[in-house]
Amino acid sequence: MSWFGIIFSILAFFAGFIIAQKRMSNEFGSLKEIKEKFNQWYSKLDVVKDELEKTTQKRAILDASLKQKQTLLEQLKTQTADLQKMETQRETIEQSFSELPSKQKAIEDLEETIEDLKSELSLYTDMESYVDYGFYPLPTYGEATSGAYNEQLKSIRQEQKEMLRDATAYTAPYDIEITGNAVHDKKLLKNQGHLLISVFNSECDYLISKVSSKNYEATITRIEKLAESLEKRLISLEIGISLDYVELKMQECAVYYQYICQKAAESEEQREIRAQIREEASAEREIEKAIRDSEKEEDILQQAMTKVRKEMAYASAEQKLRYEFQLEELTERLAQAEFRRERALSMAQQTKRGFVYVISNIGSFGEDIYKIGMTRRLEPLDRVKELSSASVPFPFDVHAMIYSEDAPALEKRLHNHFDLASVNKVNSRKEFFELTLSEIRDYVEDAGLKTRWTMAADATDYRQSLLILEQQIELSA
């Protein structure tokens, strides 16, 4: 090979090397550019990953919030259904309560009609049989009376008893021949006279026991005609009932009739007392309702605030602002509810309004023993029912329910005034006093206090017990 060839080969080698190096340099630059682009895309991928993670977290928070709200919604639906049910029950109860007075009035009217019909029927139908029981100081119907009426009846019956003892209740001829035997004839007249008065007494007692405002005049006439009818049956023996004795029976009927009228008036007074109690208690019920409603509203608001605070823990800045606004609103409403409750509670605690009651228990403590007490009950008669528990054999009778804006002060005032009449001189809290009901009434009225008074105690259980005891004694005699 020539030198020219060698040189050409060397030049060709260097030329190829230079070309290859240049090509490699170009390719290396492209590779570097690709690497830079790759790094850029890789950085963007990290950003996307971060955004994806944040989005996933937000979705989890939103899902949890949605689940809580769905749970709260279900609870609210349940509470709403319960409230609607309670509202329906309340309306039903109020409707029933509003109908009570009319139903009670209808029952009372029916009972009065039944009693009137029974009285009229007993007056105008013949008795099936007569009971020869002799003469008693006071008939069975007289046991139901009390006070002045009872004393008047006893006085009239005592006059009748004296006429029977003096043999002036009936008239009979001094000398009459019936069988020809003077001794036998005299005994016969005496027996017939006793029988005449016995029958007259039995029928009069029955008629008087059935007297009412509708048959009083008819009863007086019936007593008069009864005497005439019985005398006609013994006209042949010339035996008759003394006019004075018949007049005493009419007086007896008149006194018992006055008692019946007074008792009817007192029953009306008792109804008015109960109406007064219900009216005054309505204000107390409103206070209690306000307290219950406020407490219930507070519970609901506090639960709502708890829910909002829990949701704020996972909320964004924008959402937190909205939750903070809700919290402020709920807090304000809660403060208002608490204020209403405290105000109602303060009224209930500070009020001194109530009732001072005057009650008696003849069967347990005897006549002219009265308890003067005080209650703030919405239904003060509930307190009387408690006192009529198993600790005493007979229930108490209510004579007066005195409403007062300061019931404790009025009770103390009455206790101090009647201190000398206190039964228990050691423990004044026993509240029993030995005095007449008129003394209590006069003092209360002189003090300018207005109320209704029932002067006669029913003492139904006690009086019925006495009748049963009397019957048991008669059967065992």
Mean pLDDT of 346-361: 79
DSSP string, 308-319: HHHHHTT--HHH
Q: How confident is the model at residue 426 (pLDDT cuts 50, 70, 90)?
A: low
State yes or no: pLDDT of 353 exceeds 60.
Answer: yes
Reply yes or no on whether the pLDDT at 181 is more than 80. no
Mean pLDDT within 389-408: 87
Under 8 Å between Cβ of 385 and 364: no
179/1: higher pLDDT: 179
Q: Is the pLDDT of residue 121 over 60?
A: no
**Mean pLDDT, range 164-173, rounded to an integer:** 84
Which of 134-138, 183-187, 453-457 comes out lowest in average pLDDT? 134-138
> What is the per-residue pLDDT for 477?
65
pLDDT digits (tens, 9 = 90+) for 442-459: 999 998 888 888 888 888
Per-domain residue ranges for the chain? Answer: 134-268, 280-350, 354-476
Is residue 206's pLDDT more than 50?
yes
Q: Helix 216-233 crosses helix 243-312 at what angle (to 10 degrees)?
A: 150
Question: pLDDT > 90: what percent of the chain?
Answer: 17
| pTM score of the predicted model | 0.38
Mean pLDDT calculated for residue range 170-180: 73
Tokens of 236: 């042949």
Average confidence (pLDDT) over 226-246 = 85
Q: How far apart are the C-alpha atoms of 187 and 370, rounded to whole Å?
A: 54
Q: Which residues contact 79 (CB under 8 A, 6 or more apart)?
A: 300
Residue 115: CB partners within 8 Å, gap ≥ 6? Answer: 212
More confident residue, 452 or 147: 452
Q: Is the pLDDT of residue 135 over 60?
A: no
pLDDT single digits (tens) 63-81: 787 888 888 888 878 887 8
Residue 465 pLDDT > 60 = yes
pLDDT greater than 60 at residue 177: yes
Is the predicted pLDDT of residue 384 greater than 50, yes or no? yes
- Distance between CA 349 and CA 372 in Å, rounded? 23
Q: Give first-to-last CA distance, the chain, whole Å.
A: 179
Q: Of 114-118, 146-150, 193-197, give the lowest mean pLDDT range.
A: 114-118
Q: What is the mean pLDDT of residues 177-198?
A: 76
The residue type at 349: Q
Query: What gap in Å lies between CA 31 and CA 75, rounded to an integer?
Result: 65
**Residues 138, 263: Cα–Cα separation, whole Å:** 19
Q: How far is the C-alpha of 342 from the C-alpha of 329, rounded, in Å?
A: 20
Question: What's the rounded mean pLDDT across residues 227-241?
Answer: 82
pLDDT at 253: 92
Cβ(134)–Cβ(198) below 8 Å: yes
Of all residues in the chain, the percent with pLDDT exceeding 70 is 79
* CA nearest neighbour of 372 among 382, 363, 383: 383
Q: What is the pLDDT of residues 26-66, one digit of tens each?
A: 666 677 777 777 777 777 777 777 778 888 888 888 878 78
In this predicted model, which residue has the larger pLDDT, 278 or 54?
54
**What is the rounded average pLDDT of the residues 149-161?**
86
> What's the confidence (pLDDT) of residue 107?
63
Q: Which of 122-126, 279-283, 370-374 has the highest mean pLDDT?
A: 370-374
Task: State how far the alpha carbon of 408 is from the alpha carbons of 61, 276, 356, 358, 398, in Å.
Answer: 62, 19, 8, 14, 19
Pairing of strands 354-360, 369-375: antiparallel
**For residue 7, what pLDDT band results from cuts at 50, 70 and 90?**
confident
pLDDT, position 39 = 74
Contact, 372 vs 418, CB < 8 A? Answer: yes
CB 169 within 8 A of CB 242: yes
Mean pLDDT score, 195-217: 89
* pLDDT, mean over the chain: 79
- Residue 250: predicted pLDDT: 94
pLDDT for 274: 67
Confidence of residue 112 (pLDDT cuts 50, 70, 90): low
